[in-house]
Amino acid sequence: MKTKSCRCNRLGVVLNLALFALLVGGCSTVESRIKDNPHAFAALSPHHQRLVRAGVVTNGMPQEAVYIAWGKPDLVTTGQRQGKHAETWFYYGTRTTTSIAFATGFGCGAYGALGTAIPVTLNEDVLRAWAAFENRVLVAWEKARP
pLDDT in tens, 81-133: 999 999 999 999 999 999 887 766 555 555 555 667 788 899 999 999 999 99
Exposed, middle or buried: residue 28 (CB in 10 Å: 0-12, 13-18, 19+)?
A: middle
Number of domains in the chain: 1
β 116-134/137-143 pair status: antiparallel
Q: Is residue 28 part of a domain?
A: no
Helix 63-70 vs helix 46-53: crossing angle, to nearest 10? 30
Q: How far apart are CA 59 and CA 138, in angstroms?
A: 5
Q: Which residues pair with 138 in a beta bridge?
A: 133
pLDDT in tens, 50-71: 999 999 999 999 999 999 999 9
- The model's pTM is 0.69
Q: Is residue 58 part of a domain?
A: no
Q: Is residue 88 part of a domain?
A: yes
How distant is the alpha carbon of residue 21 from its chain centre? Answer: 18
Q: Is residue 145 part of a domain?
A: yes
Positive/negative CA dihedral, 115, 119, 123, 124? positive
Q: Is residue 90 part of a domain?
A: yes
Exposed, middle or buried: residue 9 (CB in 10 Å: 0-12, 13-18, 19+)?
A: exposed
Q: Is residue 8 part of a domain?
A: no
Q: Is residue 119 part of a domain?
A: yes
pLDDT in tens, 3-59: 555 555 555 544 454 444 444 446 899 999 999 999 999 999 999 999 999 999 999
Helix (H, G, I), strand (E, B) or coil at 43: coil
Q: Is residue 36 part of a domain?
A: no
Task: Name residue 107's amino acid.
Answer: G
Q: How far apart are CA 117 and CA 75, in angstroms?
A: 38
Domain that residue 120 falls in: 73-146
